[in-house]
Structure 1
Amino acid sequence: MSPIIYTHTDEAPLLATYSFLPIIRAYAAAAGVEVETRDISLAGRIIALFPERLREDQRLPNALAELGELAKTPDANIIKLPNVSASMPQLKAAIAELQSKGYDLPDYPDNPADESEAEIKARYDKVKGSAVNPVLREGNSDRRAPESVKNYARQHPHSMGAWNSDSKTNVATMDADDFRHNEKSVVVEADDELRIELAPSDGGEVVVLKASMPVLAGEVVDGTVMRAESLQRFLSEQITRAKEAGVLFSVHLKATMMKVSDPIIFGHVVRAFFPATFAQYGDALAAAGLSPNNGLGGILAGLDALPNGAAIKASFKQELADGPALAMVDSDRGITNLHVPSDVIVDASMPAMIRIGGHMWGPDGKEADTLAVIPDSSYAGVYQAVIDDCRAHGAYDPATMGSVPNVGLMAQAAEEYGSHDKTFEIGQAGTVRVVNRAGDVLLEHAVQPGDIWRACQTKDVPIRDWVKLAVTRARASGDPAIFWLDESRAHDRNLMAKVETYLSDPELVGDTTGLDITIASPIEATKVSVERIRQGKNTISVTGNVLRDYNTDLFPILEVGTSAKMLSVVPLINGGGLFETGAGGSAPKHVQQLVKENYLRWDSLGEFLALAESFAKYAEVTGNASAKVLSETLDRATGTFLNENKSPGRRLGTIDNRGSHFYLALFWAEELAGQTADPALAARFAPLAATLREQEATINAELLAVQGSAVDLGGYYRPDDALTSAVMRPSTTLNAAIEALAR
């Protein structure tokens, strides 16, 4: 059995690792369990791209590729913390930071001038967007709120904004010419190799967009296109609509996960909001490399270098004043919804808006009703259904509401996560075709310049495993399960046929008699689920990859206040385990607060939950009984942690992430010292439990004393180890106690 791999990632989860990992390693070592780390941070992945340019002491191995191979084996036991899914501004910022630290890395070439620059761009594109998850997720997702978390939410309900029946908040989405309406899908009958090509309308030479796309028998292959002309018209209409209705204008995309298509769509939104500015100055901005795809913030930051920068800035300011009020990311700093594509991510921003009564923050620093623009209609109706329900019945009550756990299809880069290398902004009119080895055209779309065409793949083995996992969860929980599939979508129709076949296969799923398993469109499934949660009932959502991403934020944020408190287990297809630890959507703000006032609000509950499952898996595979004791005692300690309300507070003078780690260590040590299943382990932890309890006041005083002043981490994407460790481990008393256990 390989050791437990604890991933080294980014932002607030990384900072928390500096505090929590020494505790994990000390406790694990006492039970004979080895814990190692692998660096899959954005900076680490960038460094691994260019070994030939770096000094030997700077080089890093390709840890992500290593873990990707490990995830395909029965030995895998990986704890995966949230990582940066880099937008272009984030990627460039990380490159610049590493360059400033002496790493001889090339700049990102937006428009490669030769083969060498094209090769550099191709390397960097491998770490852009959601590059980590598709590699590690060799299994499907089982994500739910543990009972201890739900009980805590019931006993200590989080705040929910009031909904008014006359709320003007709504979702705006396209009713034609988007990805959903143009989707085509086929099931490949045999192993093959496909090619994606563009046949120009003028009869010119066929352009190969992707030369090789291997597929397996039974695989579902899709192609679709968003029409640029229709998108532009739709966006202009929504800007007018928001202005006339007197509501905030906002756009909600996934410019990280959908790292090619959604930044392009984001750029269209920026252009649509400032039509006069781009009509007059668009060429000058393009010549200066200031792309709307990277957001308004990047453009404004670059204007001072332009001879007519002041005039362009004035034009932007005038159109901001003339248009509808923009939703804000940070009204105090003037950061709008259009500043950075990765600032407003749909799966985090929409639930947050719903939770506070259908409001976002306006330029005046006040909450207001909002028009939430989600151009592609594939899943926009889910959010509209929840908004309609809240408008009719008011906010949900965390003290009484049920739960919507999720079984998500994501293994082997299923569905849209696999679309990055198969998404293209079309340069000329023609027909995009997907052709097999024999030359047969499987899919085709007529396209115009600027259209966004994309394909995705879903292998049959993950679909079978997904159906099996859904039945397993329905059987174990006794809750009804709904496959969220829309028969009006070509892809979903093919999945529905497979689901119905596999549900009737007793060798795969066993006897399903008495289980409540149905199929419904996402909108209808949402309506059923929210009706049931108001009754305190649970409903398992069985979804594809993107809806998995959306639902595992939407419902947890409403149910328990944050998706970071969810248990996320990925039973890997070949027998190993991947244990994910919550969400990183608010991580940047937490880092900013730590740097400003030495206070980290990040909640590590997700790490606690994942670690307990990881120890249980380790015990199951190795027979290490002490590892099982670690799991069981950590689970009980986490319950105490919640009951004692030791999660990070919200203001200076209360415990933060570091204080929560201390209390988890204390409760865990006491559980270990008090258990009888492993007397040797109990004896090992008894002195630590006593020390931590006796020194509780001293440790708290040391942790609280550092709050209130600015700190230097030596970097954002690549913080300095010594500086960050000192910041995140300020209690000498706690450090000494943990180190004594490790000796």
Structure 2
Amino acid sequence: MANSASPDIIYTKVDEAPQLASASLLPILHTFATAAGITIGTKDISLAGRIIAAFPEGLTEAQRQPDDLAELGELVKQPDANVIKLPNVSASVPQLVAAITELQGQGYNLPDYPEEPATDAEKDIRARYDAIKGSAVNPVLREGNSDRRAAVAVKKYAMANPHSMGDWSADSKTRVSTMSAGDFRSNETSVTLTEAQAGAARIEHTASDGTVTVLKDSVSFPAGTVVDGTYMSAQALQDFLAEQIKETKAEGTLFSLHLKATMMKVSDPILFGHAVRTFLKPVFDKYATEFDAAGIDPNSGLGTMFETLETMPNGAEIRAEIDALMAERPPLYMVDSDKGITNLHVPSDVIIDASMPALIRAGGKGWGPDGKESDANCVIPDSSYASVYDETIKYFKETGALDPTTSGTVQNVGLMAQKAEEYGSHPTTFEIPADGTVTMIAANGDVLHSHTVEAGDIWRSASTRNAPIENWVQLAIERQKAEGCQAIFWLDETRAHDMELIKLIKPLLDKAGVADKFQIMAPQEATRVSLETIRRGENTIAITGNVLRDYLTDLFPILELGTSAKMLSIVKLMNGGGLFETGAGGSAPKHVQQLVEQNHLRWDSLGEFCALGESFKYFGMVNDNAKATVMGKAVDAATQGILDANKSPGRKVGQPDNRDSHYFFALYWAQALAAQTEDKELADHFAPIAEALAADQDAILRELHEGRGNAVDLGGYYHTDDSKTSAVMAPSETLNGILGTN
């Protein structure tokens, strides 16, 4: 990078499984990169790291750490940015509280999370914590639009080594249910700001008695910004949920709620809470006073509720009533049937973009409380994107499961730069305190949006700036030209926001002379066409907004590859830099559980390998650095070697795990560097390393496997102990000695 004091490549420190994998992989990366004169630095964007950075006042000097997320937020705006970004926790309130409690137990003097802040000090603490929860990281770092696709090597491997797929039958009872009125989709209005309207807008709530409350002031927008306003009717939501509970019981299927309570950190926990309250309505009605006094919040889920009941004098009696009511309700889709953890236990346990593809891949089956698979009613309250899953399920009922050995691939070009669309709506989302009207007023006094609302409704505004839209269209044009395949803008002309985008997109395509290369289809139609296309073995590009980018880059990879963690994910930053994401797929808490209990980490770092290769090649291109380019090509060769030799982690103890794959990655990388002829210095340097890694393979694998099957201590979950983690994740003294990492 231009500043010699800064690392050439930034590798993010995150959470859970990918962070544990980093403890094994990063020392290898440092060794290899140093030989090419390239520096790799780290920035801590983990949940624990963000908590520590937000509350320095009570910490010792040794405990304090800088706000790395804020620093990265500035870095990604620089033309020479080169960041490898791993999946991080988008924390729900229960996860946030658990992380705070763990840090407090480790001696960090942090304030408790105030559930109901009363004083100004408590309100300040709550505001700082709320800025950490949910999707605090991605909107800051994603200063560019998304290019996600399966790497060629990964796709070829998946076709030659197909993953298991559940059988679909035409008489499957699995279905998607969604609201037909009163939801965000049906209440949405959208405008594109004129020059006169640009500037600082404000959002006001006028109660029925005339009282005016400013919900948000000085929301600044440049001209050309698409600004949306909408709301979810609480009454319509409750009626819908009650009806679906009744219908699910009659159908004999599982009741499964699918939301995004992490990324949509303001609205979706409230929707989740409505589901919990509606599912247990007689109990909530009967014990409303006791629940309020005990601080029971349905938004936090049944898990927290059951813990609180254990502390209440009549808690056992209430729990018995809940159990009796649950027996009358339809069985719940389970997160862990062995442990009795239901769909409604924790808001962040069932995330729609992961849960729906998993259910679809399994032939429409979900796990029930009896430990058996069953058909399910997939309840997706807001109808904005529910049609994608609805159409997918209907398609597979008609045609049977997809065949991974012959299917084509769905690439994605996603509009996400500068907090585009719903994922940037957190600061402008409000639970309405009283009946009245919510109005959004432009800088010049024009009323942009006005909605009549009732107490408990959820009102939100989202925005999409013109520069990201133009960049998105240009990226789509580049990808279609490179691939030469079908390309579809997934936009619905009957939806207010999408219609505004269509009015901007069409002139851009016409100006570029490529309008005939693209189609515009509503998501439901585009889903059907894309499934038909890949079933024929052909490829297609889905050009989508931010939410569909998230949903589709899990749905199609899970069907095509068996996982979304192996996607090539490149964010071409708008100011010229590169953000290389290591695939989708979350941060895999179950993988951590298995490591702690059995010393086996099944996290697959293939996404990290793909991102690393792109990062090196990008650095070489931008800086005219031939060594970096050679390193990147060798990474690609090593990644291909991992796939060809089947050295990816297995799921069970006794099989190779993440640490084994890292050893083989180092071996293949060193061999590729030793064999290449573009840079003799690198070849000479890595030849003896490759030889030693191969010669000592038996010893290295023996040392890596010592202690497998036994429990290990990481010193924490959200904030692990570095030395303990290193001992677990880099246990081979022989490997460490060869690489100089001991």
Residue identity opposite 2:318 in structure 1: I
Equivalent residue, structure 2, for 1:81: 86
1:90 to 92, 95, 106: 95
Residue identity opposite 1:690 in structure 2: E
Matches within 5 A, 1:469-480: 469-480=475-486
Residue 499 (1) aligns with residue 505 (2): yes
2:489 to 479, 483, 492: 483
1:54-93 Cα offsets, whole Å, 9 max, x none, are: 1111111110110110101101000000000000000111
Residue 185 (1) aligns with residue 186 (2): no
Equivalent residue, structure 2, for 1:249: 255
- Provide structure 2 residue ranges, at least 5 long, that are not aligned to the other structure: none
The offset of 1:357, in angstroms, is 0.5
The offset of 1:182, in angstroms, is 0.1
Q: Distance in 2 between matches of 1:539 and 1:151?
A: 17
Q: Distance in 2 between matches of 1:390 and 1:677?
A: 49
Residue identity opposite 1:149 in structure 2: V
1:293-313 Cα offsets, whole Å, 9 max, x none, are: 011111001111111101111
Residue 386 (1) aligns with residue 388 (2): no
Q: Distance in 2 between matches of 1:252 and 1:489?
A: 22
1:419-467 Cα offsets, whole Å, 9 max, x none, are: 1111111110000000122322110100000101010110000000000
Matches within 5 A, 1:142-541: 142-190=147-195, 191-204=198-211, 206-506=212-512, 511-512=513-514, 516-541=517-542
1:178-235 Cα offsets, whole Å, 9 max, x none, are: 000000011111231100110111122x101001200001001101000000100000
The offset of 1:50, in angstroms, is 1.2
Equivalent residue, structure 1, for 2:126: 121
The offset of 1:584, in angstroms, is 4.1
Contact (CA 8 Å) 2:354, 2:585: kept in 1 or not? no
Q: Give the SS at the match of 1:66.
A: helix
Which TM-score applies when normalising by structure 1?
A: 0.98
The offset of 1:261, in angstroms, is 0.4
The offset of 1:52, in angstroms, is 1.8
Residue identity opposite 1:732 in structure 2: E
Contact (CA 8 Å) 1:467, 1:502: kept in 2 or not? yes
Residue identity opposite 1:363 in structure 2: P
Residue 717 (1) aligns with residue 718 (2): yes
**Bigger mean CA deviation after superposition, 109-118 or 155-164:** 109-118
1:21-78 Cα offsets, whole Å, 9 max, x none, are: 0000100000010000000000000111112221111111110110110101101000
Equivalent residue, structure 1, for 2:697: 696
Equivalent residue, structure 2, for 1:649: 650
Q: Distance in 1 between matches of 2:734 and 2:308?
A: 49
Contact (CA 8 Å) 2:88, 2:587: kept in 1 or not? no
Equivalent residue, structure 1, for 2:107: 102
Query: What percentage of aligned pairs have identical amino acids?
Result: 60
The offset of 1:157, in angstroms, is 0.2
Contact (CA 8 Å) 1:13, 1:584: kept in 2 or not? no
Q: Give the SS at the match of 1:482.
A: strand
Matches within 5 A, 1:663-674: 663-674=664-675
Equivalent residue, structure 2, for 1:613: 614
Equivalent residue, structure 2, for 1:19: 24
The offset of 1:334, in angstroms, is 0.3
Q: Distance in 2 between matches of 1:401 and 1:672?
A: 34
1:221-253 Cα offsets, whole Å, 9 max, x none, are: 101000000100000000011100000110000
Q: Give the SS at the match of 2:713.
A: coil
Q: How many residues align?
A: 735
Contact (CA 8 Å) 2:88, 2:586: kept in 1 or not? no
Q: Distance in 1 between matches of 2:562 and 2:619?
A: 31
The offset of 1:319, in angstroms, is 1.1
Equivalent residue, structure 1, for 2:727: 726
Q: Give the SS at the match of 1:135.
A: helix
Equivalent residue, structure 2, for 1:140: 145
Residue identity opposite 1:614 in structure 2: S
Contact (CA 8 Å) 1:418, 1:456: kept in 2 or not? yes
Contact (CA 8 Å) 2:11, 2:85: kept in 1 or not? yes
Equivalent residue, structure 2, for 1:4: 9
Residue identity opposite 1:88 in structure 2: V
Q: Distance in 2 between matches of 1:512 and 1:671?
A: 41
Q: Distance in 1 between matches of 2:10 and 2:61?
A: 24
Contact (CA 8 Å) 1:647, 1:656: kept in 2 or not? yes
1:304-343 Cα offsets, whole Å, 9 max, x none, are: 1111101111111011100001110000000001100100
Structure 1 runs of 4+ aligned residues shifted over 2 Å read 437-440, 583-586
Q: Distance in 2 between matches of 1:449 and 1:94?
A: 33
Q: Distance in 2 between matches of 1:96 and 1:4?
A: 33
Residue identity opposite 2:527 in structure 1: T
Contact (CA 8 Å) 2:200, 2:217: kept in 1 or not? no
Q: Distance in 2 between matches of 1:518 and 1:282?
A: 53
Q: Distance in 2 between matches of 1:586 and 1:186?
A: 37
Residue identity opposite 1:170 in structure 2: R
Q: Distance in 2 between matches of 1:722 and 1:576?
A: 34
Contact (CA 8 Å) 2:18, 2:587: kept in 1 or not? no
1:86-142 Cα offsets, whole Å, 9 max, x none, are: 000001111111111111111111111111111111111111100000000000000
Q: Give the SS at the match of 2:117.
A: coil
The offset of 1:562, in angstroms, is 0.5
The offset of 1:274, in angstroms, is 0.8
Residue identity opposite 1:512 in structure 2: V
Contact (CA 8 Å) 1:673, 1:689: kept in 2 or not? yes
Q: Distance in 2 between matches of 1:438 and 1:146?
A: 49
Q: Distance in 1 between matches of 2:444 and 2:155?
A: 55
Q: Give the SS at the match of 1:305.
A: coil
Contact (CA 8 Å) 1:83, 1:584: kept in 2 or not? no
Q: Distance in 2 between matches of 1:367 and 1:479?
A: 38
The offset of 1:512, in angstroms, is 2.3
1:459-504 Cα offsets, whole Å, 9 max, x none, are: 0000000000001000000111100001111000000001112112
Contact (CA 8 Å) 2:565, 2:582: kept in 1 or not? yes
Q: Distance in 2 between matches of 1:27 and 1:287?
A: 59
Q: Distance in 2 between matches of 1:655 and 1:736?
A: 21
Q: Distance in 2 between matches of 1:437 and 1:637?
A: 55
Q: Aligned Cα RMSD in Å?
A: 1.0
